DNA sequence: TTGCTCCTCACGTCACGTGAGGTGGC
DNA sequence: TTGCTCCTCACGTCACGTGAGGTGGC
């Protein structure tokens, strides 16, 4: 009975609806080890998720949907994330200052890596948007020319 | 011998390298009807692409990679695009003013739709970036607090 | 007790990846 | 003529989709 905050939990269907995915996808991520499978869940028992698990899944979905990373690549990032969480448990229990510093530095690197990927994406998208606007401009010019010609 | 500009053509490997995809992917798009298969290409003869075909493929890759559209969804857009190209051929041959106007209006709608999708993506990416920066901020705060504590 | 949601196989699908074996153009 | 690139099957893979048949909790 340690830190019995009794946080709200969710079933797989609720989580799926909240995040806009199917339950199958969630189970698949668990299969790959992306979601921390409650290793003591017996065969046939319903899966239960807390807010932390939902947040983690949401992060996975962003890395995949927005940045187009493969699940394998996400595992590489998420593994580091998992070890960070594991170390965060250490945080409460055994807060050696050196350990704390290492945890924070690793976490920072991870977030920075993700920020870099997001920035790249934003740059490419901006170029695409410019291109589309140029195309739009030429179309409108030609359309205007057509109307002017009509007006003669 | 009409408009014999003798434009440069490319083989599938060159195109693949330029656009950063595999030749298999290009052939697959052709299979689905996304690329205008030279319908008179006999069995076993090398595929040949002009700049227009390369541009079209590049557009497909952007819609897929940047916006995450399925090939089915792209077919819907590209089909309209194809009919636009078909009508552009009409442009040179039989330029009825009404036809021209219709072509331009349809083209404009298509580009606007794509711009909308790009903007949505940009918005979601911006929110993701903000979130990552906030996370980064709290990490740095805690790290600073740790150093201060150390300093005591 | 009755729905509703969950469970586990397990096969299907989409978008290609990856050879196998053979032919064509600078 | 010799590589190198291309060709066509065709099976494999990744990330799930889609039922089939059965069990569990408000």
CB of A45 within 7 Å of some strand D atom: yes
- Which residue in A85, A146, A151 has the most chain B C-beta atoms within 10 A of its own C-beta, making it the best mutation to test that interface? A146
As a rounded value in angstroms, the CA-to-C1' distance for B43 and C24 is 12
pLDDT reported for residue B84: 61
Beta bridge partners of A11: A48
Cα separation, B15 vs B54, in Å, equals 7
User: For the ranges A37-41, B9-13, B43-47, B56-60, which has the lowest average pLDDT?
Assistant: A37-41
Q: What is the pLDDT of residues A1-33, one digit of tens each?
A: 444 455 789 999 999 999 999 999 999 999 999
Q: Do B140 and A108 touch (CB under 8 A)?
A: yes
**CA B55, chain centre distance (Å):** 8
Q: What is the pLDDT of residues B49-62, one digit of tens each?
A: 999 999 999 999 99
DSSP SS3 for A61:
helix
Token pair in block for residue A46: 């319903």
Quickly tell me which residue has 């976490």 as its tokens.
Answer: A107
- Supply the pTM of this predicted model: 0.88
Residues of chain A with pLDDT under 70: 1-6, 38-39, 79-95, 150-152
Answer whether residue B152 shows pLDDT above 60: no
As a rounded value in angstroms, the CA-to-C1' distance for B124 and C13 is 29
Q: Do B101 and A143 touch (CB under 8 A)?
A: yes
A116-152 burial, b at 16+ Cβ within 10 Å, e below that, comes to ebbeebbeebeebbeebeebbeebeebbeebeeeeee
């Amino acid at each position: 009975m340690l830190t019995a905050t009794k946080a709200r939990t969710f079933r797989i269907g609720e989580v799926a609806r909240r995040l806009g995915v199917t339950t199958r996808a969630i189970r698949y991520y668990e299969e790959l080890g992306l979601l921390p499978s409650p290793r003591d869940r017996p065969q046939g028992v319903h899966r239960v998720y807390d807010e932390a698990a939902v947040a983690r899944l949401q992060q996975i979905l962003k890395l995949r949907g927005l940045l187009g990373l493969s699940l394998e690549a996400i595992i590489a990032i998420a593994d580091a994330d998992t070890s960070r969480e594991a170390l965060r448990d250490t945080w409460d229990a055994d807060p050696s200052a050196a350990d704390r510093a290492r945890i924070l530095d690793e976490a920072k690197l991870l977030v920075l890596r993700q920020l870099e990927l997001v920035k790249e994406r934003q740059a490419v998208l901006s170029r695409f948007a410019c291109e589309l606007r140029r195309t739009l401009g030429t179309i409108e010019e030609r359309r205007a020319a057509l109307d002017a010609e009509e007006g003669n």
